[in-house]
Amino acid sequence: MKYLLVAETANHFRCIDMIIDDAKVALTEKFIKELHLVLKNGTSDSRKDL
């Protein structure tokens, strides 16, 4: 369970970094889906979309 919390926290910070890096770029559906993929990677929710 701790691993999942660590993964979720790390994924959150990766998403924040991505958002900051692309702050001046137009928001697109593709970017939102990329964020979603990063956020769920390695978590208990990662297999729900399969």
Q: Where do the structural domains in the chain lie, given as residue ranges?
A: 2-40
Q: Cα separation of 22 and 32, whole Å? A: 12
CA distances from 11 to 22, 35 (A): 17, 9
**What does R_g of the chain's alpha carbons equal in angstroms?**
12
Q: Cα separation of 30 and 28, whole Å? A: 5
Band of the pLDDT at 46, cuts 50, 70, 90? low
Average confidence (pLDDT) over 14-23: 97
Asked whether 7 and 42 are in contact (CB, 8 A), the reply is: yes
Q: Give the model's pLDDT for residue 45.
A: 73
Q: Give the model's pLDDT for residue 49.
A: 56
